[in-house]
A and B are shown apart, each in its own frame.
Chain A
Amino acid sequence: MRNPVAWWIDPWRPPRFLVAITVGYLVWSLLPVLIAVAYSFNDGKSRTTWQGFSFRWYWGDQTLSVWHNDALHTALLQTIKLGVIATLITVPLGTLFAIGIDRWRGRLPAGANFLMLLSFVLPEVLLAVALLFVITTVAVPVDLGTTAQVIGLVTFQVSYPAVLVRARLATIGPQYEEAAMDLGASPLGALRRIILPMLMPAIFASTVLVFADVIDDFVLVRYLSGDASTEPVSVKIYNTARAAPTPALNALATLLLLAAMTAVVIGFLVYRYMTRADTTTKDRGIGAFAGEV
């Protein structure tokens, strides 16, 4: 060991302490999940003792596996249904929102912008309970269940594409649109032919992110689910986690994880392909993709 004073003032010493914290953190954050995934392949009924590898809990078991148990695969289907519908509504809405906030000046868009940021920090349970009250006590033509869940999810998630698309709009700047209009395009034409294609990567990225986010959502969908048939996977996990579940629950959670990860990985690859000629996002990698929210 060298002199500790020399070690301290050496500007090139490796940041061992920070490396240790970072690596430690990554292990701590990912290992429990990996262990849970591993136990979904357990052959026995236990989630704590390893009894050999099998696909029993995915489809092997005739009554309890994800494939054969009605309750479990209803949950999976409901999750995917919610994910697709909510994403399809949220993304166009969020995009319009972003364009509106960026192009309009005045009090109304400022207020919308305010609410958009608010939904990032608002405790989700507040919105969920409020919406629950609206649906149960006010005469609105909506019942608890899929429709209510979609409304809630769209309300909560719409700020995500809006923020991403708006950031992109800000980097594009007004000059392309102005050039298009100088060359004779109508404002709507410029929007459609110039701005929308340039926004495409951001819109695409937010589609993927919203999908991954929606299928992981828990609080809103739980309050707004009508009965057991509209409970998605996350609620199912919550309901059965403390009631002696079988590894089928691990398997279900793994499938959910797989769905989200696949969406994100495919999304990232396509995104990289779409922005391959774009210098503003070149060396920011996955950070640019996730919008660094």
Chain B
Amino acid sequence: MAFFIFPLYVVLCIVFGQIDPLFRTPVPVWNPLQWDPTQFNYVLTHIVGADGVFGPAILRTFVYVLVASSLCLLIAFPVAYYVARLSGKRKGLLLALLIAPFWISYMMRMFAWVNLLQDDGLLNKVLSLGGLLTPEVNWLTGQPVVVILGLVYGYVPYMILPLYAGLDRLSQSMLEASRDLGADRLSSFWRVTLPLCRPTIVAAVLLTCLPMLGDYFTSDMLSASPKTAMVGNLINDSVQSPGQTGQAGAFVMLVFLAALLPMLYYIRVTTRPDEVST
């Protein structure tokens, strides 16, 4: 427990701390009464102020996360629905294949795409249809589409599994009852299935989009260009440059604050006793 709380306090102390004038290393200030909000203000004014260099990145993060998680849901829900309810005998195999990406390193999966998307990579070869066309697309130089698809590719498995678990648990008799009482297929889906698994959907969406907020490696691997930088990249870049550690801390606090309410909501959804859904 202490391992979670204490680091966050240290982050606070660094954000509101001083910078050592000689070595440009952060000096944490332990006493909350002596906290100095300079660095925090610096970050805040650079987000919304006239010279908002961080603003676009933060906006971009929200757009990317939003688009990527909606795409994730669009892919994940049908797949989970099929595997959980309709796949019959092949369920075991399909489930194993769905779980497999979990144990393939995220880096490995991104690296696989780096290979495919290179200038002379397979994708461009396929697109050129054996020399008929010459696609002049450099996929790996800051294409937002590529980054978003990379995010989707990376996080979809984390959404499918909770959805699968929820849909698998859905009571069959309830659905049969709704059909007996005269609902057709669509309306029984709309009025029984969806409301019953709403907590699962919420949990699954949060489970994917919150980690996405801190993601910087997808953007780094697939574009490595400031055109697609996300908040995670800001954190990552400023942690490693001397003198900006306080800014990194400030970003960490911001992301944490942004993610706090959804996180609390997630915990409430999952600990509600009647709808067990992890």
Contact = CB atoms under 8 A, between A and B. Distances in A.
A, B co-complexed: yes
Interface of A: 11, 15, 17-19, 21-22, 25-26, 28-30, 32-33, 35-36, 39, 47-49, 111-115, 117-127, 129-134, 137-138, 151, 155, 163, 167, 212-213, 215-216, 218-219, 223, 233-235, 237-238, 241-242, 249-250, 253, 256-257, 260-261, 264, 285-287, 290-293
Contacts, number: 236
Contacts of B35: none
A26 B98 CA distance: 7
Contacts of B162: 292-293
Given A32-B113, A132-B239, A286-B96, A122 B105 contact: no
22 contacts: A18-B81, A21-B78, A22-B82, A35-B115, A115-B1, A117-B271, A121-B259, A123-B232, A125-B216, A130-B11, A133-B7, A138-B10, A218-B106, A223-B239, A234-B106, A237-B107, A241-B111, A242-B221, A253-B105, A257-B108, A285-B91, A290-B161
Contacts of A234: 105-108
Nearest to A32: B112
B278 A292 contact: yes
A71 to B, nearest CB: 16
A80 B1 CA distance: 27
Interface stretch (B49-57, B191-199, B245-253): B245-253
B64 interface: no
B211 A22 contact: no
Nearest to A138: B10
A133 B14 contact: yes
A30 B101 contact: yes
Determine which residue in A129, A131, A242, A257 has the highest number of CB atoms from chain B within 10 A of its CB, and name it.
A129
A241 B220 CA distance: 10
B97 A26 contact: yes
Interface stretch (B37-45, B118-126, B130-138): B118-126
A137 B14 CA distance: 9
B19 to A, nearest CB: 12
Interface of B: 1, 3-4, 6-8, 10-11, 14, 25-28, 75, 78-79, 81-83, 86-87, 91-92, 94-116, 118, 120-122, 125, 140, 153, 156-157, 161-162, 164-165, 168, 185, 206-207, 210-217, 220-221, 224, 232, 235-236, 239, 245, 248-249, 252, 255-256, 259, 262-263, 266-267, 270-271, 278
A133 B14 CA distance: 8
B108 A256 contact: yes
A261 B7 CA distance: 34
A264 to B, nearest CB: 5
B263 A125 contact: no
A257 B7 contact: no
B250 to A, nearest CB: 11
A137 B224 contact: no
B106 A216 contact: yes
B267 A117 contact: yes
Given A47-B115, A125-B236, A133-B7, A29 B153 contact: yes
A112 B1 contact: yes
B17 to A, nearest CB: 9
Contact of A25 (B75, B113, B255): B75
- List the 8 closest pairs (A to B, CB-CB), nearest first: A123-B214, A130-B7, A125-B214, A18-B82, A36-B112, A32-B112, A216-B105, A292-B165
Contact of B111 (A123, A253, A264, A291): A253
B110 A241 contact: yes
Nearest to A123: B214
A121 B81 contact: no
A238 B266 CA distance: 31
Contacts of B168: 287, 292
Given A30-B101, A163-B278, A286-B99, A241 B221 contact: yes
A242 to B, nearest CB: 6
A238 B1 contact: no
B86 A18 contact: yes
B108 A237 contact: yes
